[in-house]
Amino acid sequence: MSDPSAPNAQIARLRLRIEDANHRYYVLDDPDIPDAEYDRLLRELQALEAAHPELVTADSPTQRVGTRPAGGFAEVRHALPMLSIESVTVDEEKRPGEARKRIERFVLDARQALGRDDLEFSVEPKFDGLAISLRYEHGLLAQGATRGDGSVGEDVTANLRTVRAIPLRLRGNAPAVFEVRGEIIMLRADFDAFNRHALAQGQPALANPRNGAAGALRQLDPRITARRRLTFMAYGIGIADPREGLPATQSGMLAWLRELGFPVAREVSTAHGFTGLIDYYQRIGTVRDHLPYGIDGVVYKLDRYADQETLGYVARAPRWAIAHKFPAEEQMTVLEAIDVQIGRTGAATPVARLAPVQVAGVTVTNATLHNADQIGRLDVRVGDTVIVRRAGDVIPEVVRVVAERRPPHAQPWHMPAHCPVCGAQLLREAGASAWRCSGGLSCAAQRREAILHFAARRAMDIDGLGERYIEDLIAFDYVHTPADLYRLTLDDLLAMKRRADARDGTTPETVKQGKVATLWAENLIAAIAASTRPTLARLLFALGIMHIGEETARTLADALGSLERVRRAPVLVLECLPDIGHAVANSIATFFAQPGNAAAVDTLLAAGVAASDEHAPRRALLGDLHWAALIERAGIRNIGKGGAQTLAEACPDARALRAIHGAATGLNSRAQAALDAWLHTPDFDALVAADTYARSVLAEAEGTSTSAGPLAGKTVVLTGTLARMSREQAKATLVQLGAKVAGSVSKTTSLVIAGTEAGSKLDKARALGVEVWDETQWLRWLARHV
């Protein structure tokens, strides 16, 4: 039996793995390892072959650039080989400074070979795409081919003709036979758009832009290629016959290619010496994540072609060029555990705990898994070997599983039933991928952020209650819910401060000042007391309900008028209010239905907090709240808007639905069958509750109708900053005058009132021809009508 540790066995195993990776990437378009892992395997093979040159064979991956073309395309033999460039990729954590030393050696070798110190280099981004060669004959595109193994590629002319960035006819004079070398890539925006569309259609998403470009170019149907919106970046030339009169430098050639109509990266430049090269590498690295396309490094080339010819080639790579790669953005590691983190609103997010790995220059131990559905799609299991991606400041994420490395007993992962912090049940939002803790404001994981949000300036505006004080109040067990803030005494705050000082080893205020420092505590007690009478909109916003921002809080407050009505409002009723869809309505109703939240709100009210501006419901702001609209939103199969109107006319209220049958409803047989089945579901009870609530609210609102106001029937939008009144005051005034105040501009908008720094809403109003008033016009109108 052969020794698996013997050099020949190791080399055979590495060759097989690399060739398999080539096949999966270039032929199957299904890569199973990241580029960094591929590079590591190739470097390991190169080192073994260097140590044992007698084992080098002609078919080794080290002796060619890529892989042979797959079947389905004609072969193209390149007139000039498409060579690879030596890459410098070093683990800076294990070998700090090694990459810079290799670049410095590259420059020194060039200086010695040329006998000059002042060398100029063409410096260019290294695209993360698919290398191709374009052959032009008499100025017309004649053939396009992939690099393949460097000597033989595939004829993909028909597919390349769909790439709009590639000129079919050159815009200037060029040699009769002329080859342009460059990279086929997918722009980030096109990659994101393709994946959004694919996921919406239930199709698999692309792994990365490079894989998307490679897979698109190898489609036998050019129409499929066209759908991926590929682009092209030129970086050099191949054969040129005749060559006389062409630029004598690489930088000059790139400028000339741009004149001919080829896209050339804006980031190309020239640099002098080692310092210039490193400065360029660092400069491009800082903007890398903001470029419209992905790059994985930069390329340095001696600028003068005469110098390139002098240096020549070594093996299959030029001595006059080198690629300086950035730290890998994808790496392979082992997923050791999956934990669940609970956010401020109770959102339960699974987080991967990883064996430490260097990704893009940063040690990564945690990565997001987004949600339980994503885990299911990836089929991630504890113990799996996974690919982790990190780009710039983006949170690292697990992007795929290396299935062949899965341990034999790895089990599918499921969201736990209970919150890991408070033990309350974890619930899945209806129709969404998110899970959340039902503990609400009573969950310790949410407590800090919930109270911080509650006290914020735009919420309850408790001046002086900052992050540090909130953390200490929670840590020393003074505050568990927002209501506990209103029970704090001066002694509590001073005791909390003493304990915090003792914990932190800081000098107490009493020692530093020689007296009891109570001013800060007195001010904080006063600020808490002053917050007990907020507007209803502020109070609703302060509760931290998911999806409820300031605008939605104002909509609820203005339309329903009291906290109690908002708390009791059923989902079907909330959906009828302006600018509130099903997801928002469900979030509001679910929040108040959770026992922990309900108890926290009750305790808050018992502590003396009450809205200062409660009023009767306002009919003009209740949107589409009527009986037919509730039926339509009840979700009865085969009953749309028309059917809902028919039922509303036949049945005076929800309870009458059960008493009416057959032709008396006016529905067709399919709709009637669906109604009969639906009447025995919990959804019918929900409609009864919504109908009862709606009739009560509408009855209370009858006396507050503003139909006689001068703006009755008008929809008004406020945008920008008003100097003479707050947004809340302006909105309240408009409502009193009969207007409906909307949050967005549409064809139904009657008027837009624009303050300073008005943005997209003003632009849209002008585009739609909606009447626009500035603040001066608005105030003049008010003076005449109020």
Q: Would you say 693 is a known binding-site residue? A: no
- Cα separation, 533 vs 310, in Å, equals 83
Q: Would you say 37 is a known binding-site residue? A: yes
Q: Would you say 419 is a known binding-site residue? A: yes
Residue type, 281: Y
- Cα separation, 31 vs 662, in Å, equals 60
- Among candidate residues 285, 325, 277, 326, the one with its CA nearest the CA of residue 301: 277
DSSP 113: H
Q: Would you say 477 is a known binding-site residue? A: no
Which DSSP string corresponds to 247-289? -SBHHHHHHHHHHHT----TT-EEEEHHHHHHHHHHHHHHHGG
- Among candidate residues 36, 32, 26, the one with its CA nearest the CA of residue 390: 36
1's enclosing H/E stretch is none
Q: Phi and psi for 782 in degrees, rounded to 5? A: -60, -40
Q: Would you say 39 is a known binding-site residue? A: yes
- Under 8 Å between Cβ of 632 and 658: no
Structure tokens at 159: 């597919």
CA distances to 571, 692, 740 from 639, in Å: 19, 21, 29
Q: Would you say 84 is a known binding-site residue? A: yes
Q: Would you say 503 is a known binding-site residue? A: no
Q: Would you say 296 is a known binding-site residue? A: no
Residues 6+ apart with CB under 8 A from 23: 67
Q: Which residue has the tokens 């939240």?
A: 597
The two beta strands, 397-401 and 435-437, are unpaired
Q: Would you say 118 is a known binding-site residue? A: no
Residue type, 195: N
- Cα separation, 668 vs 662, in Å, equals 9
- Among candidate residues 29, 469, 449, the one with its CA nearest the CA of residue 213: 29
Give the active site residue among 126, 497, 740, 761.
Answer: 126
DSSP 241: E
Q: Would you say 93 is a known binding-site residue? A: no
Active site residue 714: no
Which stretches of 413-555 are assigned E, i.e. beta strand?
Answer: 426-428, 435-437
Q: Phi and psi for 342 in degrees, rounded to 5? A: -110, 125
Q: Would you say 437 is a known binding-site residue? A: no
The CB density around residue 86, as the number of other CB atoms within 10 Å, is 15
- Cα separation, 630 vs 644, in Å, equals 8
Q: Would you say 422 is a known binding-site residue? A: yes
∠378-379-384 over CA atoms, to 5°? 100
Residue type, 446: Q
Binding residues for Zn(2+): 419, 422, 443
Annotated binding residues? 35-39, 84-85, 124, 147, 183, 301, 325, 419, 422, 443
Binding site for NAD(+): which residues? Answer: 35-39, 84-85, 124, 147, 183, 301, 325
Catalytic residues: 126
